[in-house]
Structure 1
Amino acid sequence: MSNSERFWNATIDELSKGYVYEREEQEYVCLLCNQKFEDGIIYPIDDTLFEARRAVVHHIEATHISVFHYLIKLGKKNTGLSEHQQDLLLCFKEGLTDKEIVKQQNGGSTSTIRNHRFKLREREKQAKVFLTLMNLLDSTQQKQEKLVEFHKGATMVDDRYATTEEEKQKILNTYFKQGVDGALETFPSKEKRKIIVLQNIAKRFEMRKVYKEKEVNEILKEIYNDFVTIRRYLIEYGFLNRSKDCTEYWVKN
């Protein structure tokens, strides 16, 4: 299971903790970056020994500050929150009073802040009803085709590019005639096909590994002769990140 699938398939309780326990692999997995901690292994961190579960909790605090801070930075596309609402939630998280929030924002009134609190509570109620409706709907839609999920950082992806697993396989078979791990025949011009192809190519790179530009080029040369174009699109579409001086590349979570 990819980290994106693991993240979006997690329950609210699992998302709140920021990690899941994979029983088959017997490891705790950070939902925010896919860092894994094997059960039964002792991890020395900052002169302290941690069991796997405590190690993943420590990792989340040290790397991501908190699950709250990570989630709120996902942006409006994933949270549905405006920048102002995100700022207010951060203030609420810090335990600031309405007066302190007004002072921090250099304007407004305490009654306005109270109104925002009320509206956010209303959204919480609406979200519970919506989640319940979707849960009930899922039980009657088991025969519906599953849509392809893209990682949280992927750009230029919206509902227009919704693709079923069957469509995805047809696209991959069309452009990777030697198999999904083989070379690319041609690079598609249509956006939906382009995204599916780039997603497949991105799987050739290891998570959390930093690549030099030469290493990226060598991998892409095996896939397609115009490797520069592929490399550019992987960056533009949010599948890879790179340093400002363009010397280092890594998979975008």
Structure 2
Amino acid sequence: MDTSAMFWNASIQELKKGYVEENDFFTCLLCGKRIEKGIIYPVEDKLYDAERYTQAHIKQEHVSVFDYIMKMDKKLTGLTEHQNKLLRLFYEGKNNKEIQAEMGIGSISTIRNHRFVLKEKERQAKMFLAVMELLNERDAHAPVVVPPHKQARMVDSRYNVTEEEQEKVIQKFMPEGVLLTFPPKEKQRLIIMREMAKKFKAGQVYSEKETNEILFAIFNDYVKIRRYLIEYGFLNRKPDGSEYWVNE
């Protein structure tokens, strides 16, 4: 299971922690890093077991799960920019007066109302999750939809892709792992870009030359592929294009 699928399939408690426990590993839901059990890991002047080391990794590399989620696209979180900023300030422990001054909100009562609205949103989310879990237990005809990658920049109908559709597109355009022709439709391109992104390892930085070589082995117009991988949010790069890496 790739990192995005693992992230979206995680329970609320696993998301809060930022990692899942497997037989021999703890896996970070934010970047896919796997920490092997049964090993003692040194961190500065301390020694950690696998789980404590995973927690230290999240703090060091991602700051916190809260910070990571707040940086995700608003179409994935369902939060407006205003709500996002309010939640950040609440999380930082700011009181209503401090928030009023920082955001330029008219009155303390306005902030109290925002808190009430967010609590309403929380209650509604709980009811929706309960309804969806009950539905999933009964709906035998629901297709298995491929979850969007966590750094998706424009979540729209292109992301409405079932596992069956994905497999058909890959078999049509990349039957042997090499792209035969560039897909004409946006949804097909998204599927192919997701498949191509698997050629890059999370956490590894690639030079422009290395990136081009990997893509050229798949399709001759590697510049176009590179552009689409960045546009869809699968890859990131330095402003000067000297280094590339997988978006986590």
**Could you tell me the TM-score, scaled by structure 2's length?**
0.95
Please tell me the residue identity of whatever aligns with 1:252.
N
1:58-97, aligned counterparts within 5 Å?
A: 58-97=56-95
Asked if the contact 2:148–2:159 (Cα under 8 Å) also holds between the matched residues in 1, the reply is no
Deviation at 1:111, TM superposition (A): 0.5
Asked if the contact 2:3–2:31 (Cα under 8 Å) also holds between the matched residues in 1, the reply is yes
Q: Which residue of 1 aligns with 2:7?
A: 7
Deviation at 1:105, TM superposition (A): 2.2
Give the match's secondary structure for 2:244.
Answer: strand
Aligned length: 248
* Runs of 4+ with deviation above 3 angstroms: none
> Is 202-211 or 4-13 further displaced after alignment?
202-211
Deviation at 1:149, TM superposition (A): 2.1
Residues 77 and 157 of structure 1: CA distance in aligned 2, closer, same or farther (over 3 Å) = closer
Give the match's secondary structure for 2:138.
Answer: coil
Please tell me the residue identity of whatever aligns with 1:189.
P
Deviation at 1:34, TM superposition (A): 1.4
Residues 130 and 29 of structure 1: CA distance in aligned 2, closer, same or farther (over 3 Å) = same
Q: Which residue of 1 aligns with 2:209?
A: 214
Deviation at 1:222, TM superposition (A): 1.2
**Aligned mate of 2:233, from 235, 238, 245:** 238
**Aligned mate of 2:199, from 186, 196, 204:** 204
Residues 44 and 103 of structure 1: CA distance in aligned 2, closer, same or farther (over 3 Å) = same
Please tell me the residue identity of whatever aligns with 1:82.
T
Q: Which residue of 1 aligns with 2:184?
A: 189
Q: Which has the higher contact order (CA 8 A, sep 6+)?
A: 2
Deviation at 1:136, TM superposition (A): 0.5
Give the match's secondary structure for 1:28.
Answer: strand
Identity in percent: 52
Is the aligned partner of 1:247 residue 2:242?
Answer: yes
Give the match's secondary structure for 1:20.
Answer: strand
1:80-229, aligned counterparts within 5 Å?
A: 80-177=78-175, 179=176, 182-229=177-224
**Residue deviations 1:44-103 (CA, integer Å, cap 9, x gap):** 111211101001111112222211111122131111111111111112112222122112
Deviation at 1:143, TM superposition (A): 3.6
Deviation at 1:157, TM superposition (A): 3.9
User: CA RMSD, aligned part only?
Assistant: 1.4
Q: Which residue of 2 aligns with 1:17?
A: 17
Asked if the contact 2:100–2:107 (Cα under 8 Å) also holds between the matched residues in 1, the reply is yes
**Could you tell me the TM-score, scaled by structure 1's length?**
0.94
Deviation at 1:144, TM superposition (A): 2.2
Please tell me the residue identity of whatever aligns with 2:57.
H
Please tell me the residue identity of whatever aligns with 2:166.
K
Query: How far apart, CA to CA, are the structure 1 residues paired with 2:11 and 2:227?
Result: 35
For structure 1, which runs of at least 5 residues remain unmatched after alignment? none
Deviation at 1:104, TM superposition (A): 2.2
Give the match's secondary structure for 1:114.
Answer: helix
